[in-house]
Amino acid sequence: MLVSAKDMLNKAREGKYAVGQFNINNLEWTKAILLTAQENNSPVILGVSEGAGKYMGGYTTIVGMVNGLIKELNITVPVALHLDHGSYEGALKCIEAGFSSVMFDGSHYPIEENIAKTTELVKLTAEKGLSLEAEVGSIGGEEDGVVGAGEIADANECKTIAELGVTMLAAGIGNIHGKYPENWKGLAFDALEDINAATGTTPLVLHGGTGIPAEMIKKAISLGVAKINVNTECQLAFAEATRKYIEAGKDLEGKGFDPRKLLAPGFEAIKATVKEKMELFGSIGQA
């Protein structure tokens, strides 16, 4: 059964570890992440961007697939199904479809509008026992057409949004989606310290988990980060393993073209990436 991300994240914040949000793209992704979480007794959050939602055939399709896998694969660790960088309308649709968690990304609106829309969603998600992620200060880079310049969030704005009663808060601290450029300055820990002090016990969310060095991840967790989003790294691992299989000509041997064989190396590569991240984030054994 899907659960809200609230308990798992409050527990993570208190226990000084983080729960990974791994974005899904299809059945292989979803199955790989769920099985890895179960094998490692780790809570997990499945992230779905609006673009990935469309790609997979809509939110109800995804809810059906995820609930089916949880049942058929006997997944007993806590799993949240979460809308990533949702619009207000997207959040409403996911709530309707049966997601257990949503993100409303109002970071590109003036703060008053971000507050107004977040307030409405706090009410709605609370009524239904779902978790809500809000965002202040946009995350740099591009994800499914949502482009952010990589701002540093204002601690006072973070405080205002946290006090609306959101479950978790994403705050820009120089992090970006996708690969980090050579000249990246690293995470802005001074800003994170201020944001953490201003937002009380609200679990903080670090987007753009791909390519952040391990020491920075650990320091971020020590400063209140309890949820870390990873997407690109699983995509790169999947693509690399699939390329190797094809370059080795394995799709041309016997029934190597069967998708169950062709996609198997990529599936295993996602599992290995997810496990590595769970180890780094400290969520293994915390289910």
In this structure, the dihedral spanned by the alpha carbons of residues 154, 156, 159 and 163, taken in order and rounded to 10 degrees, is: -130
Least Å distance between CB 278 and ligand 13P?
Answer: 14
- Three-state SS for 186-211 is CCCHHHHHHHHHHCCCCCEEECCCCC
Contact 148, 107 (CB under 8 A): yes
Single residue of 6, 93, 177, 277 touching ligand 13P by CB under 6 A: 177
Helical (H) or strand (E) element with 20: strand 19-23
Q: Looking at beta carbons only, is 87 or 232 nearer to ligand 13P?
A: 232
Least Å distance between CB 244 and ligand 13P?
Answer: 22
Q: Looking at beta carbons only, is 6 or 85 nearer to ligand 13P?
A: 85
Q: Looking at beta carbons only, is 93 or 177 nearer to ligand 13P?
A: 177
The answer to whether residue 105 is catalytic is no
87 contacts ligand 13P (rule: CB under 6 A): no
What are the structure tokens assigned to 101, written together?
């968690």
What are the structure tokens assigned to 250, written together?
């394995």
Q: Looking at beta carbons only, is 202 or 210 nearer to ligand 13P?
A: 210
Single residue of 4, 23, 42, 118 touching ligand 13P by CB under 6 A: 23
User: Binders of ligand 13P: how many residues, by CB under 6 A?
Assistant: 15
What Rg, from alpha-carbon coordinates, does the chain have?
18
Q: Which stretch binds ligand 13P (CB under 6 A): 50-58, 146-154, 201-209, 271-279?
A: 201-209
Residue 55 burial by Cβ neighbours in a 10 Å radius (0-12, 13-18, 19+): middle
Round to whole Å and give the CA distance between 89 and 48.
15
Site for ligand 13P in 203-242 (CB under 6 A): 207-210, 229-233
Find the catalytic residue in 84, 105, 154, 194. Answer: 84
Residue keyed to tokens 């996609």? 263
Residues that bind ligand 13P (CB under 6 A): 23, 47, 84-85, 177-178, 207-210, 229-233
Residues belonging to the active site: 84
